[in-house]
Structure 1
C-alpha cells in the first residue's frame, strides 16, 4: 500500500521537474504544464495526508469540487483589483473593497463547509494535514518558479 503511494508521489514529482524548467524556458504548452503540476499536487497531498486507496476514491471528487469553487472565488477577487486606483472614483474603490470582503467571507464559509464534508471521508487529523500540505506545496512551487531566470514570486503575502 505504502509502496503504491510512494510510487505515485515519485511519479508525480518526476512529472513536476520538467514543469519547472519548461516553465522558465517556455518550451511546453501551458495546459501540459498545468496537468503536470496537478499530478504532482495530487501525489504530494496523497502522501502528506496518508490517503488509503479507499479514502482517495471518496476524497478526490470532494476536494476537486472544493478547489474549483475556491478558484472561482479567487478569480472573482482578482477581477476586483484594478491596475490603478487613479482610474476609479472613491465610490468605485469602496464598492470593490466591499465586494472583496464579501468574497473573502464566502471563501471562509466554503472552507468551513468543506471541512465538514472532508471529515466524512477522511479523519480530522488528515484534514488538518491537508490544509498544511496545501500551503507547503504552494510554497515549494513558488520557490522553484522564483529560482528560475526571469521569474519572480508575487509579493502579495503568499509566504505565510
Structure 2
C-alpha cells in the first residue's frame, strides 16, 4: 500500500510538471494522461521509488526528443504533393531517413541511460509497456464513441 501511494504521488507530481512545461490545450487532459502513463509503466516494470527518482527525468527527456523527431517526420509527410518535384521528393526521402537514423540513435543512447537505473529486464519491458499503453488508449478512444472527453476513464 505504501508503494502504491508513493507511486501515485510521484505520478501526479511528474505529470503536473510535464503539463506546466508543455502548456497549451491538446484536446485532452494531458496531466491525467501523463499520470496514467507514469503509473502504468511504473506498475508494468515494477519500478522502485529509488529507481523512479532517477528513471523518470531521463525517460521524460527521451520522450520529448522522440516527440520532436516524430513531429518533424509528420511535417515532411504534410508537404504539398501536387507541386512535388523529383528533386524535392529525393530531398524529403533523405530527410526522413536522416530523422529515422536520429530516432534510432536516440533510442540506443536512451537504452544505455535507462540501463544505469533499470535492470535489463525492465529496459526490455519498457518498450512493450509503452506500446501497450498506446494500444489501450486507442481501444478506449474507439469505445468512447460520442461521449464527452470528461467521461473517458484513464487506464
TM-score range relative to shorter protein = 0.7 to 0.9
CA contact (8 A) 1:41 1:137 kept: yes
Cα shift at 1:144: 1.1
d(CA) in 2 for partners of 1:70, 1:7: 25
Cα shift at 1:82: 2.3
Task: Give 1:124's match in structure 2, choosing from 120, 125, 129.
Answer: 120
Structure 2: gaps (5+ residues) = 13-24, 148-155
CA contact (8 A) 1:44 1:137 kept: yes
Structure 1 runs, 4 residues or longer, greater than 6 Å off: none
Alignment of 1:28-39 (within 5 A): 30=26, 33-39=29-35
TM-score if structure 2 supplies the norm length? 0.77
Query: Is structure 2 residue 64 aligned with structure 1 residue 77?
Result: no
Per-residue CA deviation, residues 12-38 of structure 1 (Å, 9 max, x unaligned), is: 8xxxxxxxxxxxxxxxx6476111111
TM-score if structure 1 supplies the norm length? 0.74
Match of 2:82, SS state, is helix
**CA RMSD between the two structures:** 2.6
Structure 1: gaps (5+ residues) = 13-28, 152-160
What is aligned with 1:4?
Answer: 4
